[in-house]
Structure 1
Amino acid sequence: MAVQGVEGGRHVRGVSGDLVWAVGRTVPWRALGAGAVVGLLIVALPRLADGPPDAWLALNLLRAAALAFALGLSFLLDDPARHLTVPVTTRRWVRAGLRVAWVAPVAVLWWTAVLALVPHEVRPPVGALTLEAAAAAALALAAAATAVRFANEPEPGPSVAAGLLTTAILAQLLLPDRWSLFVPTGDPQWQAAHERWALVLAAATLVWGACGPEPLRRGLPLRRRSAVAGPTSG
């Protein structure tokens, strides 16, 4: 799967086209598609009513759509064959990065379509809402990466999605006003809230990066354990 050669006595590893396509086939497109479709329906259904939604409703519909897509992203690292693919030469963070690379263009197109469904006159600031959507997506990926690294479950998506949904609800209900993330447009806290969203995005990205290496089992990465164990004799 990985391209290997020898230059000056050193092994050179790269990512082959075969690996890219193989990873693309393992992406859980059904879960991602379900989240995307639900998000689009959330924003589109009010257009079937007599008139367009007001600004407050449009803001919350966009937030709900972003959450729906993030719930779909919670399944991105699910891999029923995870325990069979541990010994491969391509590192896990490369394979996970390729999954994100497959999904990123789809996410951009999806978010563009979602924004286009909201009438311009009631559409909230696009940059601020895109920051919120990006932070929600990063949280989903960070939670999935954490579950993969520290748990033995090959398909942690349902648990990750449930945790993300619970976190969003608790953040809405329990955070004090001075720390609120979900503020309406025109609120004096709007700018401060999106500074907090930027911190959430940065922290989630760091967690995602930190959990990129091979999963831990009993204090040792699986790759290292398999190397130490060596071949078994029959």
Structure 2
Amino acid sequence: MTVRALAAPVWRSLPWRALAAAGGPGLLLAGAARLPDRAPDPELGRLLLRLTALAGALGLAFLLDDPARRTTAATPVGRASRAAVRLALAAPVAALWWTAALLLVPAQSRPALTPATVEAAATACTALALATLAVRFTDTAEVGKGAAVWLGAAAGVTLLVPDRWGLLGTPADPWWQATQLRWAAVLALTLTLCATGTREPVRRRSRRPVRGPAPSGY
């Protein structure tokens, strides 16, 4: 089975319910900036977009769920190729979703697009990296729930880190550039984990006891 032949069945097997369940509320969060009688506030827009990105990433945590994992593992197409097909199919949808989220925030309340998009990409790649590691080191077919829990825990820890050394600074802070560098580092690290974690694990050869020569008959 070629990679192209995998596209149609993989498209049907993508976790659309989980993606919609996370993406829908995410867009509602972004649209909250348009509530009546709300004054333009870029910091509110930044907060809403960060929450929107987290909601979308929680949905992407389920992207590698494959109920037929034990069946697809026997195909001639490797794990990296199967994951790449899933990502290639989901990436345009995710890009359109993020574009819609940005447009839902009024221009007067919309933060700078590049930092916001880097933060969203790093959050999404964190979810994918957690799911990738779960696929690599466990036999679980559906790793999304665990990856989503770990992502939520990571978000909670991020809230506890002071902005001076954390990821939640704002342009008004003197360490804003350092915050953006940390987001870029998170993006680079999680992309690396995704790329290296999809490689097929080396199977250990089972060790069989060495038997001596059979005794000759009399």
Question: Under a length normalisation based on structure 1, what TM-score does the superposition of the two structures give?
Answer: 0.83
Structure label with greater radius of gyration: 2
Higher strand residue share:
1
User: For 1:144 and 1:61, how far apart are their aligned partners in 2?
Assistant: 25
- One-letter code aligned to 1:220: R
User: For 2:39 and 2:26, how far apart are their aligned partners in 1?
Assistant: 17
Q: Which has the higher contact order (CA 8 A, sep 6+)?
A: 2
- One-letter code aligned to 1:194: Q
Partner of 1:78: 65
Question: Alignment partner for residue 96 of structure 1, among 58, 83, 102?
Answer: 83
In structure 1, the residue corresponding to 2:171 is in which secondary structure? coil
Partner of 1:137: 124
Aligned residues: 206
User: For 2:163 and 2:87, how far apart are their aligned partners in 1?
Assistant: 34
Contact 2:33 2:106 in 1 (8 A): no
Question: Alignment partner for residue 63 of structure 1, among 27, 30, 50?
Answer: 50
- One-letter code aligned to 1:147: A
- One-letter code aligned to 2:194: W
In structure 2, the residue corresponding to 1:121 is in which secondary structure? coil
In structure 2, the residue corresponding to 1:182 is in which secondary structure? coil
The C-alpha deviation readout for 1:132-189, integer Å capped at 9, x for no partner, is: 000001111111000000011110101110110110111111x234311011232211
Question: Alignment partner for residue 220 of structure 1, among 176, 200, 203?
Answer: 203
Change in Cα spacing, 1:123 to 1:45, as seen in structure 2 (3 Å) is closer
User: For 2:111 and 2:59, how far apart are their aligned partners in 1?
Assistant: 24
Task: Write the mapping of 1:158-173 to structure 2, written as runs, cut at 5 A.
Answer: 158-173=145-160
Contact 2:13 2:66 in 1 (8 A): yes
Query: Shift of the alpha carbon at 1:53?
Result: 5.2
- One-letter code aligned to 2:115: A
Partner of 2:185: 199
User: For 1:46 and 1:104, how far apart are their aligned partners in 2?
Assistant: 26
Report the aligned-residue RMSD: 1.7
Gapped runs of 5+ residues in structure 2?
A: 207-218
Could you tell me the percent identity over the aligned residues? 47
Partner of 1:155: 142
Question: Alignment partner for residue 178 of structure 1, among 144, 161, 164?
Answer: 164
Partner of 2:112: 125
In structure 2, the residue corresponding to 1:120 is in which secondary structure? coil
User: For 2:89 and 2:22, how far apart are their aligned partners in 1?
Assistant: 16
Which runs of structure 1 show a deviation greater than 6 angstroms over 4 or more consecutive aligned residues?
none
Verify: 1:30 aligned to 2:17, yes or no.
yes
Query: Shift of the alpha carbon at 1:46?
Result: 4.0
Change in Cα spacing, 1:93 to 1:53, as seen in structure 2 (3 Å) is same
User: For 1:45 and 1:179, how far apart are their aligned partners in 2?
Assistant: 29
Question: Alignment partner for residue 107 of structure 1, among 75, 78, 94?
Answer: 94
Question: Under a length normalisation based on structure 2, what TM-score does the superposition of the two structures give?
Answer: 0.89
Gapped runs of 5+ residues in structure 1?
A: 3-14, 226-234
Contact 1:23 1:99 in 2 (8 A): yes
Question: Alignment partner for residue 146 of structure 1, among 118, 124, 133?
Answer: 133
Contact 1:124 1:185 in 2 (8 A): no
Change in Cα spacing, 1:121 to 1:48, as seen in structure 2 (3 Å) is closer
Contact 2:15 2:63 in 1 (8 A): yes
Query: Shift of the alpha carbon at 1:52?
Result: 4.5
